[in-house]
Amino acid sequence: MKTSTIDLLVDLINRDSVTPEDKGCQERLADELQEVGFKPEWMPFEEVKNLWLRKGTEAPLVVFAGHTDVVPTGPIERWETPPFTATIRDGKLYGRGAADMKAGVAAFTIACREFVEENPNHKGSIALLITADEEGPSINGTVKVCDTLKARNEQLDYCIVGEPTSSQVFGDTIKNGRRGSLTGTLTVKGKQGHVAYPEKVRNPIHLSAAAMAELVATEWDRGNEYFPATTFQISNYHSGTGATNVVPGAAKIVFNFRFSTASTPEGLKEKVHAILDKHGVDYDLEWVLGGEPFLTESGPLTTIVQEAILAETGIKAELSTTGGTSDGRFIAKICPQILEFGPINASIHQVNEHVDVNDIETLKNIYKRALKALLT
């Protein structure tokens, strides 16, 4: 099976664009779409390459967003074929980034090209927002492009992010929002000493135990129609000197909230401090807000993409807000309707990452149907 979408995807996979490298992927996309009237604008920030590729100046503006960077391969010897040599085997296309998310990028690029060729007088405008900083720290990529677009009053009306959202079968899941992420690094202060003289020490592990138990047991919210309840998880707990007869002088605990629109970062912080203070813990606490939650309620964009998926696959996609964060959290601040849809995510970030060959062209057709519904 040979199509323009597969050809482009193979070319992208063959470029070892481990974050924050791009290795010419964005130039390849620009070359593909300049021929049909798209104008590239390069937005580099420090070491990160970003591309804003737009055709038209009128509203509405439909944006496809994605990233060309990929995670490292892991142990090369565990790959059945070289990770940066796209290989088709048993109906699947293998390579690092095949699912996350070069298939989505290739599919919406060709969808845009074919749509413009078939509808040269379409209404509105189309743009691609491409970064090489999604799999990295995400500080010089989409967030800064969005800041630039906002500063010059460019209005985004609809955005589809090509992240791999399908779960069990291709087309079963659309992400119409994502939970926020809030991380706390808690240092509990104690007093180091010999375990045989407990009257002379203050054990930070003991001192924090009741407070941590309450934090783990707390119901932060009950979620809402679109989001599950907010969760609290301890990811790291470090203490001790390595000796069996020494009470440590401090304990460091790292925890994370994945929170819904039913909570706010400020509200979660206040509750945590209140619990720690109630238990008399002597502590320092540093916070990092990884991203706020965003949500596109059922409406024009979700309906259009659901109908496109149904027409191409016979599957009615479910709306979901589960999973980790994505660059959608930045775009949501300047775009009223945004969702994510792409291939099956079962193999992402794993060795032998792959997509089903038959899904690649279908994905392109779904994106093209969405464009037709929005711009004709």
Instruction: State pLDDT tens for residues 257-301.
Output: 999 999 999 999 999 999 999 999 999 999 999 999 999 999 999
User: What's the pLDDT score for residue 323?
Assistant: 85
Q: Residue 17, SS3? A: coil
d(CA 292, CA 263): 10
Tell me what pLDDT residue 2 has. 85
Sole residue written with tokens 């993409």: 305
Give the three-state DSSP class for 285. Answer: strand
Tokens 């994106």 label which residue?
367
Does 163 belong to an annotated binding site?
Answer: yes
pLDDT digit string, tens, across residues 19-59: 999 999 999 999 999 999 999 999 999 999 999 999 999 99
Query: Of 21, 133, 134, 327, which residue is the catalytic one?
Result: 134
CA 166 to centroid of chain Cα atoms: 14
Strands 246-247 and 283-291: unpaired
Domains of the chain: 5-178+293-375 (3.40.630.10), 180-291 (3.30.70.360)
Give the C-alpha separation, 31 to 11, whole Å.
Answer: 13
Q: Which of 222, 204, 358, 339 is nearest to 281 (CA)?
A: 204
How sure is the predictor about 349, in pLDDT bands with cuts at 50, 70 and 90? very high
The pLDDT of residue 324 is 84
Which of 32, 69, 356, 359 is labelled catalytic? 69
Can you give the pLDDT at residue 95?
98
pLDDT at 55: 98
| Residue 100 annotated as lining a ligand binding site | yes
| β-pairing verdict for 180-189 and 354-356 | unpaired
Whole-angstrom Cα distance, residue 25 to residue 59?
28
Residue 121 has pLDDT above 90, yes or no: yes
Let me know how long the chain is. Answer: 376
Parallel, antiparallel or unpaired: strands 283-291 and 87-89: unpaired
**Strands 177-178 and 294-295, how do they pair?**
antiparallel
Question: How many percent of the chain have pLDDT more than 70?
Answer: 100
Mean pLDDT, rounded, of the chain: 97
Query: What was the pLDDT predicted at 353?
Result: 98
The model's pLDDT over 14-23, given as tens digits with 9 standing for 90+, comes to 999 999 999 9
CB 5 within 8 A of CB 118: no
Burial code (b: 16+ CB inside 10 Å, e: under 16) for 59-87 equals: ebbbbbbbbbbbbebeeeeebeeebbebb
Instruction: Measure the CA–CA gap between 198 and 240, rounded to whole angstroms.
Output: 15
Model confidence pLDDT, tens digit, residues 223-241: 999 999 999 999 999 999 9
pLDDT at residue 374 tops 80? yes
Under 8 Å between Cβ of 247 and 307: no
Q: In what order do the strands lie in the sheet with 283-291?
A: 231-239, 250-259, 180-189, 283-291
**Residue 199, marked binder:** no
* Distance in angstroms (rounded) separating the CA atoms of residues 347 and 94: 10
The Cα–Cα gap between 201 and 1 comes to 71
Q: Is 132 exposed, middle or buried (0-12, 13-18, 19+ CB in 10 A)?
A: buried
Query: 117 an active-site residue?
Result: no
Nearest to 374, CA basis, from 307, 298, 297, 296: 307
- Is the pLDDT confidence value at 1 over 80? no
pLDDT interval class at 148 (50, 70, 90)? very high
172 included as an active-site residue: no
Cα(363)–Cα(82) distance, integer angstroms: 25
Note whether 322 and 70 are within 8 A (CB).
no
Q: Looking at the DSSP assignment, which residues form a beta bridge with residue 260? A: none
Please, what is the end-to-end C-alpha distance for the chain in angstroms? 30
Q: Is 270 annotated as a binding residue?
A: no
Q: What share of the chain is helix, strand, coil (3-state, %, to 5)?
A: 30, 25, 40
